[in-house]
Amino acid sequence: MQLSGHSHGGQVKLPGVGPPVLPPLGEKYPAGRYAVRGMVQYTNRGLGVIQPRLRFGCRPEITTVVLRTGTG
């Protein structure tokens, strides 16, 4: 499992298009859960904003992760 820092999800998410601008390290996995080489990877959208101070179609997010042992 990999828990990744927040990307703001791009802050603006256009319907049918997605985020027009993402931070350089957030382009591949902008927000949400992904399967990466047999691993679960999750990128949080975060709470804040950067310039411009605007969010559209990309709600702020606090993620709760619950870890449980496997039932072998």
55's CB contacts (< 8 A; 6+ apart) are 11, 12, 49
CA 5 to chain CA mean position, Å: 8
Encode pLDDT of 18-56 as tens digits: 888 887 878 888 888 999 999 999 988 888 877 878 888
Q: Is the peptide bond before 19 cis (omega within 30 degrees of 0)?
A: no
Are the C-beta atoms of 24 and 30 separated by less than 8 Å? no
pTM score, whole prediction: 0.74
